[in-house]
Structure 1
Amino acid sequence: MANSSQEDFQLKDTNPQIGERWPTGDMRGGGWWRMSGDKFTSTYDLVEQMHYLYVRVVKAKDLPTNAITGSCDPYTEVKLGNYKGTTRHFEKKTNPEWKQVFAFSKDKIQSSVIEVYVRDREMVGRDDYLGKVVFDLHEVPTRVPPDSPLAPQWYRLEDLRGETKVRGEIMLAVWMGTQADEAFPEAWHADAASIHGESVYNTRSKVYVSPKLWYLRVNVIEAQDVQPNDRSRIPEAFVKAQVGNQVLKTKIGPKSINPQWNEDLVFVAAEPFEEQLVLTVEDRVQPSKDEIVGKISLPLHIFERRLDHRPVHTTWFNLEKFGFGILEADKRKELKFATRIHLRVCLEGGYHVLDESTMYISDQRPTARQLWKHPVGILEVGILSAQGLLPMKMKDGGRGSTDAYCVAKYGQKWVRTRTIIDSFNPKWNEQYTWEVYDPCTVITLGVFDNCHLSGGEKPRPGGGGGGASGGSAKDSRIGKVRIRLSTLEMDRIYTHSYPLLVLQPSGVKKMGELQLAVRFTCLSLANIIYLYGHPLLPKMHYIHPFTVNQIDSLRYQAMNIVAIRLGRAEPPLRKEVVEYMLDVDSHMWSMRRSKANFFRIMSLLSGVITVSRWLDDVCHWKNPITSVLVHVLMLILIWYPELILPTVFLYMFFIGIWNYRFRPRHPPHMDTKLSWAEAAHPDELDEEFDTFPTSKPHDVARMRYDRLRSVAGRIQTVVGDIATQGERFQSLLSWRDPRATSLFIVFCLCAAVVLYVTPFKALAVLAGLYMLRHPRFRSKMPSAPSNFFKRLPAKIDSML
């Protein structure tokens, strides 16, 4: 197990050169928006300003042809000192259009001129020189967005010596800018000069949107005229429903040609709908043999989209049966027949689509946009840099290397920074913005090593988990950061260096540090306060709740759908990245996690033990002054029992005010001690990293081992939930969520005042009548105190 001091795993305050708001252009998901009058203006103030020299190569015309071949295969070469970038080449074209942009970091410029060459590609030998254009860097203009893009101009080509003009012209634009320039994301960067071909696309920064997920609820009611293949027996029918890779079955109905089930089958579907709902009615002929007696395929777009709890209409569908005709014995055909199935099917957008597969919710909104509220804040994250990354793979004869990029996920929006090639201290300085609809959510950031830049690289053994050479290469995980928004003070910039921790079979390992700048800006304090007293999820989630088994299945299927859809983008956000960001293995059994949850509960009980010891000290007069004060307070409360409740609330108010001095100064991060990662036994880690199903050779041991892990995983989740509830009580007065604590202590003060002036008997009567009220006056929706409590933060956000 890795032996590292606890200091290496702590957050560190940083002091980056940020804070000056410099204007930007089209941020494409980045930047910062500030209301000015009735308009939003964009700034870019959470990252360090980086200057770049941009060269836009648009097109050329009237290029000369080769005297031998009679054609021209032109391409352009942009050269600045030791850096050289080339455009794609065109075959047999004297008027090519490239429309490519090259970016050179100002810090790495070692030349006073930039040269643009136009060449003719030859199959054998040296490419022909057609002409060039030279620019003096001291004469290059500076462009500051939101100025319009610099207009490209035609330049006559010069000979190699630059003395005379030759045939042909090229359209160019050259300017100095920053990473806020709209050309930055799509530009070819000099620090990726060693990457060629399609691999260049894997180095660029992109913004992704995860697909809109719906619940497809299929209520299978009944069927009519189910005719088995053997007409002499009564069918034992059940219904199998399939949507893509998701397959669910009803129970076997009673023996009848008109069986009834009335079961709900729930699937996850993503827009645009590509799969169909395939329903088959099958007859259980033998315990191991089923025969299809009817089938139907239905496109998902025909079903009603349910936004509230209003009932959905039922529909009868005719089934199709496969049989063999007399005249066409060798051909399979579909025959319409009398069997019908009665269904109630809808796409539910009123539910909160589970946050793919993770317990760290980043979006509380329902799927249907009609149910969205106005945003309550803006989250801005500046991804500055990483320091001290470990070598993740070997190349160039055994030299360690890391090609790092960062992924951030909040709500439906995913962002990916550009890949910094071959650097253990990459600097991204990219800023991104999200709208916040609920502050009780978590943003997740992960750092990965890009293993898709060339085919000859091999992952470094033990370098962070998850790499393979060749075509099966996977981007290796370097580490992850989670930040709960409700723990951030509003309009404050947090600049910290977060340790990147990865748990390996050998133990917890620090892979480097990630430097971030984070700010949560409040748009409406009244709306945020309003949210604390309202349900976390839409109304339908409480009226038609899912079972535990359904939730687990839906999480898994949603993660698969998101991974597949994001993997289709260019560059793709690969499955191993999506799974790591969504904590796909968080529900698997782990002895380490079970220990961690157990000691979380023990930590809560330690507070009760501390209070009992204090009372014991009071009883034994170890501090006479305290004992006298407690006796006086006891006599007063006994003599005036109506003062008990107001005194308790008043004391809690003062305790909350007192604890304000000790409130956390930075967002919580991965706690290796809380996660029990530092003290885990090697055998326990070996069990945690074992495959599921287990790779043990003995069949009986495998079955028992898997069963134990499944049951223990449930117990582990329950224990963690109990610990979470207790930690929420602790957070009431700890200022971990500044807004929640402020609301609670103000409530305590108001309650203390009201209880002082209100007769205790009247309060007791009102409380009794409220507790014993008739069910007609009760609501299925959770109460405001319950909603407030469920929004309080817990230490689950800080667990590794």
Structure 2
Amino acid sequence: MQPQPSAASQEDYKLKDTTPQLGERWPHGRGHGGGGWIGGERLTSTYDLVEQMYYLYVRVVRAKDLLVNPLTGSCDPYVEVKLGNYKGKTRHFEKKTHPEWNQVFAFAKEKIQSSDLEVFVKDKEMVGRDDYLGKVVFDMHEVPTRVPPDSPLAPQWYRLEDRHGESKFKGEIMLAVWMGTQADEAFPEAWHADAASVHGEGVYNIRSKVYVSPKLWYLRVNVIEAQDVEPLDRSQPPQVFVKVQVGNQILKTKLCPVRTSNPFWNEDLLFVVAEPFEVQLVLTVENKVSSSKDEVVGRTSQPLTIFERRLDHLPVHSRWFNLERFGFGVLEGDRKNERKFSTRVHLRVCLEGGYHVLDESTMYISDQRPTARQLWKQPIGILEVGILSAQGLLPMKNKDGRGTTDAYCVAKFGQKWVRTRTIIDSCSPKWNEQYIWEVYDPCTVITLGVFDNCHLGGNEKPATGGGAPKDLRIGKVRIRLSTLEADKIYSHSYPLLVLQPSGLKKMGELQLAFRFTCLSLASMIYLYARPLLPKLHYIHPFTVNQLDNLRYQAMNIVAVRLARAEPPLRREVVEYILDIDSHMWSMRRSKANFFRIVSLFSGTISMSRWLGEVCQWKNPATTILVHILYFILICYPELILPTIFLYMFLIGMWNYRYRPRHPPHMDIKLSCAEAVHPDELDEEFDTFPTSKPIDVARMRYDRLRSVAGRIQTVVGDIATQGERLQALLSWRDPRATIVFTIFCLIAAVLLYVTPFKLLACLAGVFFFRHPRFRSKLPSVPSNFFKRLPSRADSLL
């Protein structure tokens, strides 16, 4: 076993309060944080959950009338923006004297060490010679400040000057220079001075972006029947099944149990599809010739746009589809040998928008709305998250012989994903970016993950080695909105914990500030009485296997679509945020769930232990008080329910002083991650199927069998007790049933003629009797119950 963490290391794994210097409360509606619409009104973030960072912005729009090279008669212009030791360059245009760049450069104010901003226009064709076409110089003290929600600063033309500051050069350049904050709409697309080392395609991979998950639908294909199925070998009737393919998803019906040319199935096949519908429904009817051979009888391909969209539980109309002949091998023009082909299939197909398409584990669901927007309700709140910074991140890769980290943060809630910009070569990055989400249900979770960017186009190499680069996981944070107080700003530093094959590791800390604003308390309370999922989930529920398959297919579609964005949100990021591997077997997770169950029943166990001490008269005063309370409740039975509810009210008020002061976070003790066995970790990180040697796999299989055997025994014991209850009146044991039925008759008579209060008093006195009147042997009812038969005798 691994050593237990020390007290100091356990403190590192806890949530920490922070006191960041948050910005002032001023609104903006154009920033990259985005927003939404409620009742036709624009949602805007106040941008007061992050530290205000000031930047010098330089927008290079275009130039005109530039000087040309006298040798070639043209020029390849580009612009170089220089501020102290920082230089930024635009792309160049070949042979163009009126170029248009429309690029923005951003320089952090805290790193500015020069009082002059210089903008040079140069000719790339004349590198090595006098490539100077002119410049414009700005005094930093004269640069205006733009504060949202002011409109963008209008660019203007500036005449190019020579090296001595005289306007002798021909040509003009259109520029806009201003001082702003990270709330400026130019911030996400700007070239940042602290990322000057990134070139080529890597520039697009460092920008902050907002993504939207594709709109997902369930496609339900009800395969009813087929007619006139004609196999190649007409001497035997066919035994057919239907295979349906939608994109990469393939499902099959069962074999028709009867060999017939008119088979019947009436089976539902479920798929996940995304708008815009880029795939088609391809259906083939196949004949089972042998155990290893299937022949295609007919085929049809239909676009998804022809199928109706169902928003409620109303029935969908079925349709017949003619199948195309497939595999008969009739030569073109050979009409004589051509056979008549009239096979068709009966289907009921619809796109179902009344469901919530699960794209993640139901434990961490962040959106419970149905797909169809017509069924959406009004938002009940607004979630604002300020992603401030990270501290103490571990080096994730090697660059020029030293460890470094290029970190960015991804947050996902509902259909909206956000990605901060990548901070280059820093183990303590500061993002200070704020985002906003509409909240439709408070019982949802926002997930934030920190990653190391391995797609910058440089000479970075992952510290772990390996093949194709993947963005490396640094850590993850989950926040459940229902645990937050409304309109309160939370600012905490979350430990980023990752379980690795070597054990639990702290990768750093993520500093966040967030606020959940309630728009309507009445609507929020009303939601607690509403079903968790849309109506169709309860009218036409899915099986567990269907849910697992649909969730996996939905994750694949989301990952593929987000990977097509610019910059792409890569598959490894999507899988980590959506906890795609949470269903995999793990001895550690099994132990954690077992201890959760034990903790769940700890209160009941404590109550039964206290009641046992009362019955044993361990504390006579307490036992006497319990007797008095019991007799009062017997004499006045109308006080029983009020007493119970009053007791629960007092417990709730007493526990108020012990209420959680912080949102929940990753608990290493609850996760059984603080002292997990190395072999169990190795098993958890093993591939599926396993890649371990046969002896290791055999050992783990035997261990799994032993654990499953204990679970099997527990389940069998529970089933035995239930079957014994059934045996009381099932006459499996005639003598026991006769005894029990006679006892029920006598009990009915006694209960009828004896006052209930008297019986209750006698039962209470008997239950609380003194230990000297108790026997150490089992009671008569217990002996009788244990002798009842169960169906365990019938097991092989």
Q: Would you call these one fold, judging by a TM-score over 0.5?
A: yes
1:51 is aligned to 54
Listed as ranges, the matches of 1:122-521 within 5 Å are: 122=125, 125-126=128-129, 128-253=131-256, 254-323=258-327, 327-328=331-332, 337-357=341-361, 359-396=363-400, 398-461=401-464, 468=466, 472-521=468-517
Take 1:234 and 1:543, find their aligned partners in 2: how far apart are those partners? Answer: 39
Structure 1 gaps of 5+ residues are 462-466, 723-759, 762-800
Residue 779 of structure 1: aligned partner: none
**Is 2:510 the counterpart of 1:537?**
no
Displacement of 1:125? 2.7
Counterpart of 1:601 in structure 2 is 597
Hey, what's the Cα distance between the residues in 2 that align with 1:330 and 1:143?
79
Q: 1:605: Cα distance to partner?
A: 2.4
Name the CA shift for 1:390/1:572 in 2 (closer, same or farther; >3 Å): same
Residue 611 of structure 1: CA displacement?
Answer: 1.5
Asked if the contact 1:357/1:558 (under 8 Å) is kept, the reply is: no
Cα deviation, residue 161, structure 1: 2.3
Structure 1 stretch displaced more, 293-302 or 626-635: 626-635
The residue number in structure 2 matching 1:660 is 656
The equivalences for 1:750-769 within 5 A come to none
Q: Could you say which residue in structure 1 is the equivalent of 2:569?
A: 573
Deviations 1:184-240 (A, max 9, x none): 111111110111122111000000000011000000000000001000001000000
Other structure's SS at 2:431 match: strand
Q: How much has 1:42 moved relative to structure 2?
A: 4.4
Q: Provide the rounded CA distance (Å) in 1 between the counterparts of 2:394 and 2:521.
A: 43
Q: Distance in 2 between matches of 1:693 and 1:418?
A: 37
Mapped to 2, the partners of 1:675 and 1:664 lie a distance apart of: 19
Distance (whole Å) between structure 2 residues aligned to residue 537 and residue 38 of structure 1? 27
Which segment is superposed worse, 609-618 or 413-422? Answer: 609-618
Q: C-alpha distance in 1, partners of 2:497/2:632? A: 54
2:101 aligns with one of 98, 116, 124: 98
Report what 2:739 is aligned to.
Answer: none
Cα deviations by residue, 1:264-300 (Å, 9 ceiling, x for unpaired): 0000011101111110000000001000000000111
Q: Is the contact made by 1:322 and 1:335 (CA closer than 8 Å) also made in structure 2?
A: no
Instruction: Please give the secondary structure, in 2, of the residue aligned with 1:337.
Output: coil
Question: Against the structure 1 CA distance between its residues 251 and 334, is the aligned structure 2 distance closer, same or farther, given a 3 Å change threshold?
Answer: farther
CA contact (8 A) 2:35 2:42 kept: no
1:631 Cα deviation after fit: 2.5
Measure the CA separation in 2 of the matches of 1:45 and 1:571.
27
Q: 1:129 to 1:407 in 2, by over 3 A?
A: same
SS at match of 2:176: strand
C-alpha distance after superposition, 1:59-93 (max 9, x if no partner): 10000001122110000000001110000000000
What is the distance in 2 between the residues matched to 1:232 and 1:32?
A: 65
What are the superposed Cα offsets for residues 458-500 of structure 1, whole Å, 9 maximum, x if unpaired?
A: 1113xxxxx745xx10000000000000000111111000000
Structure 1 counterpart of 2:776? none
Structure 1 residues 701 and 335: CA distance shift in structure 2, 3 A: farther
CA distance in 1, matches of 2:28, 2:111: 23
Offset at residue 32 of structure 1 (A): 10
Q: Is the 8 A contact 1:61 1:94 kept in 2?
A: yes
* Shift, 1:618, TM fit: 3.6
Q: Please give the secondary structure, in 2, of the residue aligned with 1:611.
A: helix
Map Cα deviations across residues 684-732 of structure 1 (whole Å, 9 max, x no partner). Answer: 00000000001134499589959969x979x89x99xx9xxxxxxxxxx
Greater CA drift, 117-126 or 290-299: 117-126
Asked if the contact 1:499/1:514 (under 8 Å) is kept, the reply is yes
Residues 394/259 of structure 1: CA separation in 2 closer, same or farther (3 Å cut): same
The answer (yes or no) to whether the contact 1:393–1:460 under 8 Å persists in 2 is yes
Partner secondary structure for residue 683 of structure 1: helix
SS in 2 for 1:95: coil
Work out whether 1:77 is the aligned partner of 2:80. Answer: yes
Is this contact kept in 1: 2:38–2:379, CA < 8 A? Answer: no
Residues 1:570 and 1:705: Cα distance change in structure 2 (over 3 Å): farther
Check the 8 A contact 1:24/1:31 in 2, yes or no: no
| Distance in structure 2 (CA, Å) of the matches to 1:447 and 1:270 | 27
Q: Is the 8 A contact 2:299 2:325 kept in 1?
A: yes
Deviations 1:433-455 (A, max 9, x none): 00000000000000000000024
Contact 2:237 2:261 in 1 (8 A): yes
For 2:158, the aligned partner's letter is Y
Gaps of 5+ in 2: 719-755, 758-796
1-structure distance, mates of 2:128, 2:538: 73
Return the alpha-carbon distance in structure 1 between the equivalents of residues 462 and 92 of structure 2: 33
CA contact under 8 A between 1:205 and 1:416: conserved in structure 2? yes
TM-score after normalising by structure 1: 0.85
CA pair 225-186 structure 1, distance change in 2 beyond 3 A = same
Which residue number corresponds to residue 747 of structure 1? Answer: none
- C-alpha distance in 1 between matches for 2:194 and 2:544: 49
Paired AA for residue 351 in structure 1: Y
SS of corresponding position for 1:265: strand
C-alpha deviation, 1:538, in angstroms: 1.2
Query: Using the alignment, how far apart are the partners of 1:692 and 1:702 within structure 2?
Result: 15
> What residue number does 1:12 align with?
16
- Per-residue deviation at 1:126? 4.6
| Secondary structure in 1 matching 2:342 | strand
- Letter aligned with residue 171 of structure 2: G
Partner SS state of residue 141, structure 1:
coil
1:242 aligned counterpart, secondary structure: strand
Q: Post-superposition shift, 1:456?
A: 2.1
Residue number in structure 2 paired with 1:587: 583
Q: CA separation of 1:224/1:107 partners in 2, compared to 1, >3 Å: closer, same or farther?
A: same
Pairs within 5 Å for 1:667-682 = 667-682=663-678
Structure 2 CA distance for aligned equivalents of residues 691 and 401 of structure 1:
28
Task: Indicate conservation of the 8 Å contact 1:321/1:336, yes or no.
Answer: no
Q: Who wins on radius of gyration, i.e. which is larger?
A: 2
Counterpart of 1:744 in structure 2 is: none
Looking at structure 2, the residues matched to 371 and 706 of structure 1 have their Cα atoms a distance apart, in angstroms, of 51
CA contact (8 A) 2:201 2:457 kept: no
- The Cα shift of 1:635 comes to 1.4
Q: Relative to structure 1, is the Cα distance of residues 334 and 681 closer, same or farther in structure 2, using a 3 angstrom cutoff? A: farther
